[in-house]
Amino acid sequence: MLLKQKVCGDDKFTGKNYDHRRGWVEAQILKLTDVFAIGVAAYELLMAKGE
């Protein structure tokens, strides 16, 4: 079984767009930096369009 999940951007297979999740994902990452006392240098790779 193959699990495919698109976080942000366009899903080329289904044609759905998940850009509405970008703000939520960013907020969650920022919350985790507070909880775990870590710094996130670059989360742009996760948020890159088409990834």
1-51 pLDDT, tens digit each? 445 566 778 888 888 888 888 888 888 888 887 777 666 665 555 555 554
Task: State the pLDDT at residue 30.
Answer: 82
Task: State the pLDDT at residue 22.
Answer: 83
Q: What SS3 string covers 16-49?
A: CECHHHHHHHHHHHHHHHHHHCCCCCCCHHHHCC
Residues in a beta bridge with 10:
17
pTM confidence score? 0.50
Residues in a beta bridge with 36:
none
Task: State the pLDDT at residue 48.
Answer: 56
24: tokens are: 């939520």
Q: What is the CA radius of gyration of the chain?
A: 13
Task: State the pLDDT at residue 28.
Answer: 86
